[in-house]
Structure 1
Amino acid sequence: MFLGAIDVHFTWIDWVVVALYMGLTTWIGHLMSGKAATVKDFFLGGRSMPWWAVSGSMIATEISALTFIGVPGAVFALKGDWTYLQWGVGSVIARGIVGYWLVPLYYRKEIYSPYDFMGNRLGEGVRRLVTVLFSMGAILGQSVRVLVTALILQTVTPLSMNTCIWAIGGFAVVWTLMGGMRTVIWTDVIQFCVFVLGGVLALGWLVGHLGWNEIVAINTGVPLPDGGSVDKMRIFDFTAPWTDKMLNYTFWVGVIAMPFQNLAAFGTDQLNAQRMFCCGSEKDARKAMLWSSVSLVTTLLMLAVGSGLFAWYQVKGMTPDEAAAFAQDPNNVFPVWITTVLPVGLTGLILAGAFAAAISSLDSVLAALSQTTLSAVLGRKKMECEEGSARMVKLSRMMVVMWAVFLSLFAIWLEGERRESGSKNLIDLAFGMVSYTYGPLLGILLAAILPGKKSLEGVLLGVVVSVGLVAWMRPELPSLLAAMGLPVAWLVESRPQIAFPWMFPVNALITLGCAMLPLGKSIRVGREHD
């Protein structure tokens, strides 16, 4: 690591600011949480949360420290630009579909998760299957957020990455156990405000010292080692999919593939959907979902910060330690800049906001994993019958701790794999990890909604084929096989040459198609299954 000479810039005053901020946020969250006397209180906030708070919580969960650190790092990288913003088109489309189509379906009957809805339509076997898929996807996707937060903590401390990961997991458990979803949502709102404030202050500092015109000029026509150049503030790329199938950030990926990804994220991922169920009415849930599109403004803000950071180091230069840290991982650039450039105290506030934003995302997924696990193991009826019992609340809290340990262990493994493979784009890593499960989950949801006969055997076949396709395309399986001493060259050489975002629609349609096959006992959609 090259950060040893950088952490000295993070003074005791900054640590005091971090401690005060984290303590104050914890105290406010505890005050706002109320008493989690029932499972409904713990997981759904008593269905009494205001829509604007739920919307802010959705945004905070979506952006988290991954956007705060990963987006500027991606722009700062050699060929980085703003084309990631094109994916926002698909996000807006999907939120509209969720708000006007899925929310009414979910609110017709009191349920705890989309998996209850799918189970009611397709049977208990499907409920358990989608719960397993969600748990798998949550561990894969959220482990990247743990890594991002650990990267920030490692920048300002001499601690190892593994120690940072365990510390973050422990704090997330504390926040989750304080009061369930009420605490999660209210702390999310606080983090969202500080997160945006940090981005605005950083961009203001960069513009104030360099000037916006200078930033734009430096980011235009940046020469590359191969003789080409890149416009680091380019937004649109209209390259046709068949011209270069490996491009992730194009307009066509944004408007065709990413609506499927976001429909799965907001409609089937309990991490996001759980917030909708915390609203008191269908109308409030729709408003919360639609207004969460404001997150695109935050993404735009952090893209601008990334361009500002690139211009800053072009003009001001960098120390040998900074150059080494950025060469090792471009995601170091923003936390290092905050630590070494901003005034004492302000550094602590902004990084405290980043810590808290990341932890608020983690406590959200821990609550969601706990709820879906209990629902799958005990069944929805038993949960409803015993929702007010001390035993059920205790079990919920035990599940939170169990999942926190598992998530931390997987994050440690993933960091080792990331370092070995040289993967540096955290945004691609995060979206790539959820590509294993989002397509199958969306396909099962569509099977539960669309008329016609479906079968559990067909759904299982679709899931196996879909997950297998992603495993074939992604580097994780070859790495695992290589660690076991098995040959992997054949797997890598036969890998399909296609950008991973296209697997969201492909796998959703594969799963839906297989669900319609006449395999085993068929279930006609529309029949309720208790």
Structure 2
Amino acid sequence: MSPILVFGVIAGYFLLLLAISHFTSKQADNNTFFTANRQSPWFLVAYGMVGATLSGVTFISVPGEVGNSNWTYLQFVMGNMVGYAVIALVLIPLFYKLKLISIYEYLKDRFGQNSYYAGASFFLISQTVGASFRLFLAALVLQIAFFDAFGIPFWVTVMITIALIWLYTFRGGIKTIVWTDTLQTSFLLLAVVISIWMITDHMELSMADVFATIGKSEKSTIFDWDWRSNNAFYKSFLAGIFITIAMNGLDQNVMQKNLTCKSKGEAQKNIFWFSIVFFFSTVLFLALGVLLYKYAMDQGIAIPERTDDLYPLLALNHFGILAGVVFLLGITAAAFSSADSALTALTTSFCVDILDIQKKEKNQKKTRLLVHIGFTILMFLVIIVFNSLNDSSVVSAVFKVAGFTYGPLLGLFAYGLLCKNPVRDKWVPVVCILSPVISVILDFNSEAWLNGYQFGFEILLVNAAITMLGLFALYRPKTDEVSID
């Protein structure tokens, strides 16, 4: 695709986002920015969350990974469904009962101010790193597709990219995100549908032939019952459950959208319907993966060494202009749908959890705007640091380490919900810091210390368990409430 065409597609896409922002941010205030005035239609939130959940990595990786692990990824998604049920039945009622803006306010009510700051801080750190990493990947795509052709340096690409996100989120906040997510989900799913249509048209397959091709393919194998395999059912299924609870149910970025619904019932309905649409959307991506490999084999196209490159290779070079344009829109939507909501969630959490903005009588809107600008600059600087490292393994390691911060959050909420004992609040931050540190040490040394054993998703559970054990150790008799804490 020519750089001019790429520019036209990206420019048109962001003009649509800015138009949506204009109409959704009229008469917007802090309540609109943080909660969308709790007036979001549940079906709109449910549909939009599909695009936010299917990140740019998923958009490219899931179809390509079919060549390595068949449809075993669906085992993980089955676990996701159980995790979302737990979120809908346990966390949503709790958060609506307490009328929370930031979900970490629960920790203040349950444990105390120090625990509250600890939980919010871990979210701020992990989300800043995670969102910056995802945006870093998106900026790389734009750099290769357009900016390199004009000799524009990468830091300018990053500045333009993040400035565009700031422009369409700084007024309407989460209300704008709820609506832009619907557009992004549409582009994501449209990219997959058009790609499948292009393949069937090139190979002259009827719809019945498509189902038969997918059904007969060895690449459509779902279940792996070998307990030693990395894709073993039990491991993947449990991973799907707990990763969903930790990285969706206990993540302000995700839950802020759910808390914009009008009531607890509508929020629960949103979660259930979203999980169903998400499941079948994943099936669509997996079906595309089978067809991509079938098409490449029939056309004599060499499979790239990196399976992540298969979908971009075929979409941009073999399926025609329409498929290339829609693919570009899809990957852009996937990348930015998570970055824009992260910027809003970071601003919300810092304003509510750290600055306690609701108690300020003056300049609330100005404070929120300054925080929003501050996190925009911070994400820009983190991305530049990622780029300066110039080592994908180092960047991936930094991103992985950031993932360990969800362990303390899972441990805090699990202990708070399952155990009624009070704790010595002032020592909770120490436990929350030590838990991921110990987990990282275990993860890096497990092969040497545990006879060759390598941790997978279960390191999250180990991290959470260490946090819970630490909280048990901090048990505070009720008579010590005043004298100790």
> TM-score, normalised on structure 1?
0.79
SS of equivalent residue, structure 1 residue 454 = coil
Q: Percent identity?
A: 25
Counterpart in 2 of 1:412? 387
Q: Which amino acid aligns with 1:498?
A: Q
How far apart, CA to CA, are the structure 1 residues paired with 2:478 and 2:360? 27
**1:125-274 residue pairs with structure 2 within 5 A?**
125-157=114-146, 159=148, 164-210=157-203, 211=205, 231-240=218-227, 243-244=228-229, 247=230, 249-274=231-256
Q: Retained in 1: the 8 A contact 2:170–2:369?
A: no
| Worse-superposed segment, 181-190 or 505-514 | 505-514
**How many positions carry a matched residue from both structures?**
471
How far apart, CA to CA, are the structure 2 residues paired with 1:18 and 1:472? 43
Q: Which amino acid aligns with 1:367?
A: T
For residue 510 of structure 1, report the CA deviation from its aligned partner.
2.1
Write out per-residue CA displacement over residues 466-519 of structure 1, whole angstroms, 9 at most, x where no aligned residue.
3124423567xxxxxxxxxxxxxx898558723321122222222122111136
SS of equivalent residue, structure 2 residue 89 = helix
How far apart, CA to CA, are the structure 2 residues paired with 1:430 and 1:310? 33
Q: Which amino acid aligns with 1:508?
A: A
| Alignment RMSD | 3.3
How far apart, CA to CA, are the structure 1 residues paired with 2:282 and 2:158? 25
For residue 180 of structure 1, report the CA deviation from its aligned partner.
0.7
Counterpart in 2 of 1:445? 413
Q: Retained in 2: the 8 A contact 1:176–1:400?
A: no
SS of equivalent residue, structure 2 residue 423 = strand
Write out per-residue CA displacement over residues 334-388 of structure 1, whole angstroms, 9 at most, x where no aligned residue.
2232221233244223312321332121010011111112233323xx4344487
Equivalent position to 2:428, from 459, 474, 478: 459
For residue 33 of structure 1, report the CA deviation from its aligned partner.
3.0
Counterpart in 2 of 1:341? 318
Counterpart in 2 of 1:515? 471
Write out per-residue CA displacement over residues 394-440 of structure 1, whole angstroms, 9 at most, x where no aligned residue.
233323423432442354367x332579x7xxxxx899556402221
SS of equivalent residue, structure 2 residue 56 = helix
For residue 316 of structure 1, report the CA deviation from its aligned partner.
1.9
| Worse-superposed segment, 94-103 or 168-177 | 168-177
Q: Retained in 2: the 8 A contact 1:236–1:251?
A: yes
SS of equivalent residue, structure 2 residue 40 = coil
Write out per-residue CA displacement over residues 159-193 of structure 1, whole angstroms, 9 at most, x where no aligned residue.
27666544433322222214211111100011111
Q: Retained in 1: the 8 A contact 2:35–2:256?
A: yes
How far apart, CA to CA, are the structure 1 residues paired with 2:394 and 2:99? 46
Q: Say whether residues 1:311 and 2:303 are aligned partners.
A: no
| Worse-superposed segment, 401-410 or 62-71 | 401-410
SS of equivalent residue, structure 1 residue 188 = helix
How far apart, CA to CA, are the structure 1 residues paired with 2:61 and 2:398? 10
How far apart, CA to CA, are the structure 1 residues paired with 2:49 and 2:210? 35
Write out per-residue CA displacement over residues 262-287 of structure 1, whole angstroms, 9 at most, x where no aligned residue.
11122210111111221121111111
Counterpart in 2 of 1:332? 309
Alpha carbons of 1:316 and 1:404: their partners in 2 closer, same or farther (altered >3 Å)? same
How far apart, CA to CA, are the structure 2 residues paired with 1:273 and 1:145? 19
Q: Say whether residues 1:83 and 2:57 are aligned partners.
A: no
**1:480-519 residue pairs with structure 2 within 5 A?**
493-494=448-449, 497-518=453-474
- Unpaired runs of 5+ residues, structure 2, are none
How far apart, CA to CA, are the structure 2 residues paired with 1:387 and 1:93? 44
Equivalent position to 1:21, from 3, 13, 21: 13
How far apart, CA to CA, are the structure 2 residues paired with 1:199 and 1:351? 11
Write out per-residue CA displacement over residues 296-350 of structure 1, whole angstroms, 9 at most, x where no aligned residue.
212221122222222222222348xxx7xx33x4323222322212332442233
For residue 460 of structure 1, report the CA deviation from its aligned partner.
3.6
Q: Which amino acid aligns with 1:49?
A: S
How far apart, CA to CA, are the structure 2 residues paired with 1:457 and 1:500? 32
Equivalent position to 2:85, from 91, 96, 99: 96
Q: Retained in 1: the 8 A contact 2:3–2:145?
A: no
SS of equivalent residue, structure 2 residue 170 = helix
Q: Which amino acid aligns with 1:170?
A: A
Q: Retained in 1: the 8 A contact 2:3–2:146?
A: no
Alpha carbons of 1:131 and 1:413: their partners in 2 closer, same or farther (altered >3 Å)? farther
> TM-score, normalised on structure 2?
0.86
Alpha carbons of 1:219 and 1:158: their partners in 2 closer, same or farther (altered >3 Å)? farther
How far apart, CA to CA, are the structure 2 residues paired with 1:286 and 1:165? 37
| Worse-superposed segment, 16-25 or 206-215 | 206-215
For residue 140 of structure 1, report the CA deviation from its aligned partner.
3.7
SS of equivalent residue, structure 1 residue 498 = coil
Alpha carbons of 1:419 and 1:94: their partners in 2 closer, same or farther (altered >3 Å)? closer
How far apart, CA to CA, are the structure 1 residues paired with 2:394 and 2:430? 33
Q: Retained in 1: the 8 A contact 2:132–2:380?
A: no
| Worse-superposed segment, 166-175 or 364-373 | 166-175
For residue 97 of structure 1, report the CA deviation from its aligned partner.
1.2
Q: Which amino acid aligns with 2:453?
A: Q
Equivalent position to 2:96, from 107, 114, 120: 107
Q: Retained in 1: the 8 A contact 2:70–2:222?
A: yes
How far apart, CA to CA, are the structure 2 residues paired with 1:154 and 1:81? 32
How far apart, CA to CA, are the structure 2 residues paired with 1:437 and 1:141? 11
Q: Retained in 2: the 8 A contact 1:466–1:511?
A: yes
Q: Which amino acid aligns with 1:36?
A: A
